[in-house]
Amino acid sequence: MADGATLAMPRAEAPGGASLKRFARRRSTIAFLMTLPLIAVIGGLVAWPAGYAIWLSMLNRRMTQFIGLGNFEILLDSETFRMVIFQSVFFAVTAVILKALIGFWLAHMLHHLPAKGQKKWRGMLLVPWVIPPALSTLGWWWMFEPTYSSINWVLAIFAVPAVPWLGEPWWARISVIIVNVWYGAPFFMIMYLAALKSVPEQLYEAAAIDGATGWQKLRYVTLPMMRNIISITVLFSLIVTFANYDIVRVLTNGGPRDLTHVFASYAFQVGVLAGNIPRGAAVSLFMFPILAVIAFFVLRGVNRRTKEEL
Amino acid sequence: MSATTASRDAPGIYHKAGSLRSERRWALWTAYASLIVAAIIMLAPPVYMFLTSIKTSAEIADLGGNPWIVRSPTLENYRALLSSPMFMGFFWNSVKVTLLVVAVSMVISVLAAFALARMRFWGSQWLATGVFLTYLVPDTLLFIPLYQIVGSLGLLNSTWGLVLVYPTLTVPFCTWIMIGYFASIPKELDEAALIDGANWMQMLVRIFIPVALPGIIAATIFAFTVSWAAFVYPTAFITTPSEMPLTIGVVSQLIRGDTFAWGQLMAGALLAALPPVIVYVFLMDYYIAGLTAGATKG
Amino acid sequence: MTKGISRRSAMRAGAGVLAAGAIGAPMVHAQGSAGNLRFAFWDHWVPGSNDALRQLGARWAERNRVNLTLDFINTTGNQLQLTAAAQAQSRSGHDGISLAPWDPGAYADQLEPVDDVIGRLVQKYGPINPVGEFLAKRQGAWRGVPATSGTQNKPALCRFDLLQQHAGIDVRAMWPARGEKGPGADTWNWDTFLAAAEKCHAAGFPFGLPMGSLTDAVDWVGGLFASYGARITNERGEPTIRGNQQLRQVMDYAVRLSRFLPNDVWAWDDASNNRALISGRSALIFNPPSAWAVAKRDAPQVAENCWTIPMPAGPQGRFVAYLPWTTGIWAFGRNKNAAKAFLEFLSERESAEFTTNFSGGYDIPPFLSMADFRVWETEGPPVGTIFNYPLKPHHDARYSIAFSPAPPELASQMYIQALNTKVIARVAQGGETIDAALGWLEREINNMRRGL
């Protein structure tokens, strides 16, 4: 490849349309070769398995027979799975909204600080995002543990009765969301902080001269300036949160009564643990259309706004 | 006339400046109060993990006292882990897989990003969008078909299987970051290089990589963090302890079904979390730059 | 982890899981003139117990000039089961592997029949217990050798002081450390149990009975169902739920009992009940002696007041929750005769006793004639605390496995999905009627059977 490129150079210097065209052709060949590994990774390890998953989801348990949409039909018939759909959507939407709000609030607060102190606080608040979530969830699990819960110990000081964090379905759902928000809010914070910094100071000054209150500045200056980054972050986080597996796996394993299962953990249980690979594939494929629809609208909005700005 | 305007405005400006100052002070207090609360919540779990990790089992089992206080600190949990060949094996597996994956992902994504950002060719636009869309297909959707594929390659229960599949987690984002960085390098630079007779490879190595170094560092840290923390693939593909990386090793080997040693578990989790934390302490700015690169540029 | 439970394994102070060397270090033995052999065993929850198999393996391998490698695989996250599934699918891997209760049936057509081995062993030691036979003998042949290492009972592990004080039951008198029943043993049924549960709950020491989806929960509820004669499917896997009076009766009982349990038992894992006992907050759990052994290390004042007794009896008799492992030999293996010989060696009385001793009495051999190992009499304090842990003739009890007699493919799914605890939870925690919950159960089973 390098040789080919070296050979191309002298010719490129030569005058004449033909050699320029050849240069362009050669350039696209080289460029294609350079992207080939990327294409191999995406094609071989993402696109092909995704297609294969669709095929798998249409087989019977022993993978000996084609049953069309049978697995999807069976799943939709099952109350447990309908509950998994509800829980996945509830979990992802609530967690993302909370993460965005908390992240926005913290970014705003950080933005008020003088530049020197900012770095220290930013560093502390980012810690949850750096620890691998499977491991930090272990810490949370231990804090939620019914007999030894250190959170309940703190609550007891304020005379709050012990909370069955992982035992009651709604508390368990809340616990899973708490951990996810704890892990993900710093990411939003850092993205919004970067965005806040990129809002020109003059806009605020202009707004101040117009007599805008803090709220009005937020509403008419900050938010419009950050719309794209908010959309992108929310989209990215929604995708990641919908696909969350480690927190549920470590914290509740889907319990109690399967009420905290999300698509990924349920797919793992059905597909790998209970040995029904096709049905597990069908479970995990359910997220795709949901994500694709959301992504389509978010990205369309972003593109439209980018075009308006231009 | 100008004098009257000035005198009319003067008190207003003065008044505004005064309220601004008090508003600022108030805002600063709110900021500190919220940040202190947030920091306590954000840091409580790791701190409590650390406290647990330096307790003895008897102290952990004792319900009598304040769980947030350590009465007889011990390093026994850490000693047991660090002297265990199994735990060190997890560590080594993680290091091996992570280094290989980071190297592979960086080569793939730098080459591809360069080509996509600088050398327009048929389908390059389409491909750049495709890179972003890969996120719609998360690992939790892919692990079941990949379980079959990796199995048919005979790579279940092998760190090589992980090296094969982890790039799906790292390459798209790294490519995205690098496209952003390369795109921000002025076009005049490559024209100058082309006139000097450099070929594309030389141009990439001599000009683009040095100029985009911060981006490359950011992408490397990102790839490192992601492959260190990967959980779904090793859970699905690795079942023998000798091939496990740290995340799954700690979660599956230090937790036993029946009873378990919380002190050791917490020590293991903290030790496993240490490398990304260290990297982040030293290279925080790059890491943040990497995370925000695509978004602020795009 | 359970530590210092075995008399023979040294007590390494403060050490946890790893100090015992849990890793399956490969061991290779001299001149493998008789070929190579590789086994995957259950990674024992009692530290040091793997060493029993390692030492036995070393002895056998040397004698038979076989290159023997042992791997020990954990069951957290069902890794051992996943390994078996992967190997069955790729038709490669270990020569032999520990199989979870229902798996010998699920993989029957890929497992080498071992009737000859079982035949010789039965001749020497008498019959294998019926549950072990039911699970391992499939499609007309034995698909594996019921194992000693890892096989456990889940009888009642009681705090005799608390039961005496709050419920007025003297469990040591009922079930003394002798081969006979004491006074009142015949009243040890689920009704007595319920009354005791209520009183201990009122006194602040509720029974720690898990109702989650892991084996401790599924197994004890399985024992409860069996003692009421409540079956949810027949041998063909067809649901037998409609009009099933025993099932309604046991559901009713379980719901009443669950009112006296801690309110978060629905999320308990296999360790939560142990923690409840060790912390001194619970008067009774269903568990092997590992919980007591940890208490001995971390909370000696609790351990001294522990006593293991059989599970209570129900209208259809007394059943003890039983979690048996079976070691199977893959039909695709190359050295099947050596593998059989190795398993036969491990099943001999001397080997079984060696294994059980290493586990501090945790392991239960499949032969009823082996319920008299000395370790169960001598472990303490208090001495005799696990005398009644193995099933002994005077208990008048039988082993139970949840979801029998369903066909293994269905049963293993019901077991992993913990349908029996979930159906109770739907009523007790979810507030459904028993009819609605049973309707759900039937639909869920029918759903599992579709597209098999």
Min CA distance, A169 vs chain B (Å)?
A: 22
Q: Could A194 and B273 be called an inter-chain contact, meaning their C-beta atoms sit closer than 8 Å?
A: no
Residue identified by tokens 């190595």 is B205
Compute the distance between CA of residue B75 and CA of residue B55 in angstroms, rounded to an integer: 8
Minimum distance, in Å, between the CA of residue A19 and any CA atom of chain B: 15
| Cα dihedral sign, C437-C443-C447-C449 | positive
Q: What amino acid is encoded at C214 in this protein?
A: L
Find the helix or strand (DSSP H, E) in which B80 lies.
helix B76-82
Average pLDDT over residues C213-238: 92
Residues on chain C touching B264 (C-beta within 8 angstroms): 16-18
DSSP bridge pairs for B1: none
Q: Answer whether C264 sits within 8 Å of A146, measured CB to CB.
A: yes
Nearest CB among B56, B84, B253 relative to C14 is that of B56
Asked if C297 lies within 8 A of B58 by C-beta distance, the reply is yes
Residues B258, C274: C-beta atoms closer than 8 Å: yes
DSSP string, C359-371: TTT----SBGGGT
Q: Is the link from the previous residue into A256 a cis peptide, with omega within 30 of 0?
A: yes
- Alpha-carbon distance C385 to nearest alpha carbon in chain B (angstroms): 19
User: Residue C286 forms beta bridges with which residues?
Assistant: C156
Optimal mutation site among B42, B203, B256, B278, interface A, most CBs of chain A within 10 A: B42
Phi (first) and psi of residue C35, to 5 degrees? 95, -175
**Would you list the DSSP string of C244-259?**
-HHHHHHHHHHHHHHT
With an 8 Å Cβ cutoff, the interface of chain B facing chain C consists of 56-58, 60-63, 74, 76-77, 80-81, 84-87, 89, 151-152, 154, 156-157, 235, 239-242, 251-261, 263-264
Q: Cα distance from A71 to chain C (closest Cα, Å)?
A: 7
**How far apart, in Å, do the first and last CA atoms of chain B sit?**
49
What is the C-alpha to C-alpha distance for residues A259 and A257, in angstroms, rounded to an integer?
A: 5
Residue contact C279–B61, C-beta within 8 A: yes
Q: Tokens in use for C22?
A: 């849990």
Q: Do C1 and B77 touch (CB under 8 A)?
A: no
* pLDDT value for C39: 92
Q: pLDDT tens digits for C273-330? A: 888 898 888 999 999 998 898 888 888 899 999 999 999 999 999 999 999 999 999 9
Question: Is the pLDDT at C22 greater than 80, yes or no?
Answer: no
Distance of CA C183 to the CA centre of its chain: 28
Q: Which of B62, B93, B232, B239 should one mutate to test binding to chain C, selecting the residue with the greatest count of C CBs within 10 A? A: B239
Tokens 């990674």 belong to: C43
Q: Which is nearest to A256 in space by CA: C24, C268, B153?
A: C268
* Helical segments of C109-188, H only: 115-125, 130-136, 160-162, 171-174
**Residues in chain B closer than 8 A to A246 (CB atoms):** 231-232
Interchain CB distance below 8 Å, A279 and C451 = yes
- With H, G, I as helix, E, B as strand and everything else as coil, classify residue C189: strand
- Domain A71-309 fold is MetI-like fold (1.10.3720)
Model confidence over C23-75: pLDDT tens digits? 344 444 444 556 889 899 998 888 778 889 999 999 999 999 898 988 888 88
- The dihedral region occupied by C223, where left means phi > 0, alpha psi between -120 and 50, and beta the remainder, is alpha
- Whether C391 and C368 have beta carbons less than 8 Å apart is answered as yes
* Chain C neighbors (3+ CB pairs < 8 Å): A, B
Interface predicted TM-score of the whole assembly (ipTM), two decimals:
0.83
Going by CATH, does the domain composed of B76-297 fall within 1.10.3720.10?
yes
Q: Which residue from C minimizes the CA distance to A266?
A: C417
Chosen from C39, C72, C79 to mutate, greatest number of chain B CBs within 10 A = C79
Identity (one letter) of the amino acid at A87? Q
- Which residue in B has a C-alpha nearest to residue A210's C-alpha? B16
Q: Which of A61, A148, A254 sits opposite C451 (nearest CB)?
A: A61
For the purposes of burial, counting CB atoms within 10 Å of the CB of C410, is it exposed (0-12), middle (13-18) or buried (19 or more)? Answer: buried
User: How far apart are the CA of C24 and the nearest CA of chain B, in angstroms?
Assistant: 8
pLDDT of res. B156: 78
Stretch C237-249: mean pLDDT: 92
Domain ranges of chain A: 2-56, 71-309
- Residue B242 to residue C2, Cβ atoms within 8 A: no
Given a contact cutoff of 8 angstroms between Cβ atoms, the answer to whether C72 and C23 are in contact is yes
Classified as helix, coil or strand, C321 is strand
Q: Which of B57, B89, B252 sits opposite C74 (nearest CB)?
A: B252
> CA-nearest residue of chain A to C271?
A145
On the question of pLDDT at C15 being above 50, the answer is no
**Does the distance separating the beta carbons of A56 and B144 come in below 8 Å?**
yes
CA distance B26 to chain A (A): 10
Residue among B250, C234, B261 nearest A142 (CA): B261
Of C211, C212, C263, Cβ closest to residue A164: C263
Instruction: Indicate the residue of B57, B81, B251 with minimum beta-carbon distance to C18.
Output: B81
Contacts of A83 in chain C (CB under 8 A): none
Average pLDDT over all residues of chain C = 87
Which residues in chain A land under pLDDT 70? 1-25, 309-310
Whether residue B258 and residue C22 make contact (CB cut-off 8 A), yes or no, is: no
Q: Do C443 and A273 touch (CB under 8 A)?
A: no
Cross-chain residue pair A53–B144, CB shorter than 8 Å: yes
Contact A274 C412 (CB under 8 A): yes
Would you call A277 and B175 a contact, using CB atoms and an 8 Å cutoff? no
What's the count of helices (H) and strands (E) in chain A, helices before strands?
16, 0
For the stretch C370-390, pLDDT in tens is: 988 999 998 888 888 999 999
Return the pLDDT at B67.
86
Q: Which residue of B has its CA nearest to A55?
A: B145
Q: Do C290 and B259 touch (CB under 8 A)?
A: yes
- In whole angstroms, what is the distance from residue C260 CA to residue C268 CA? 15
CB contact under 8 A, C262 and A257: no
Query: Min CA distance, C172 vs chain A (Å)?
Result: 27
- Mind listing the domains of chain C with CATH numbers? 18-151+324-378 (3.40.190.10), 153-322+396-449 (3.40.190.10)
> What is chain B's pLDDT, residue by residue, as a tens digit (298 residues)?
344 444 444 444 445 555 667 777 888 888 899 999 999 999 999 999 999 999 888 888 777 778 888 888 989 889 988 988 889 999 999 999 999 999 999 999 999 998 888 877 777 778 877 887 787 788 877 888 888 788 788 887 889 999 999 999 899 888 888 888 888 888 887 777 777 777 777 888 888 888 888 889 989 998 998 999 998 888 888 877 788 999 888 887 777 656 667 888 899 999 999 999 888 888 888 877 777 765 554 4
pLDDT at residue C173 greater than cutoff 60: yes
Residue C20 has pLDDT above 50, yes or no: no
Q: Using a CB-CB distance cutoff of 8 angstroms, which residues of chain C are in contact with residue B253? A: 17, 22, 74, 76
- What is the pLDDT, as a whole number, of residue B123? 76
Please tell me which residue of chain B has the smallest CA distance to C154: B258
Q: From B266, which residue of chain C is nearest by alpha-carbon distance?
A: C16
Within 30-89 of C, beta carbons closer than 8 Å to B belong to 43, 45, 71-77, 79-80, 82-83, 86, 89
Q: Residues of chain A whose C-beta is under 8 A from some C-beta in C?
A: 60-62, 67, 70-71, 74, 77-80, 145-148, 164-169, 172, 249, 252-258, 269, 272-276, 278-279
- Chain A residues touching C85 at Cβ < 8 A: 272, 275
Task: Report chain A residues whose CB lies below 8 A from the CB of B172.
Answer: 42
CB-CB: which of A121, A126, A198 is closest to B296?
A198
pLDDT at position A21, please? 67
What distance in Å separates residue C281's CA from the closest CA in chain B? 10
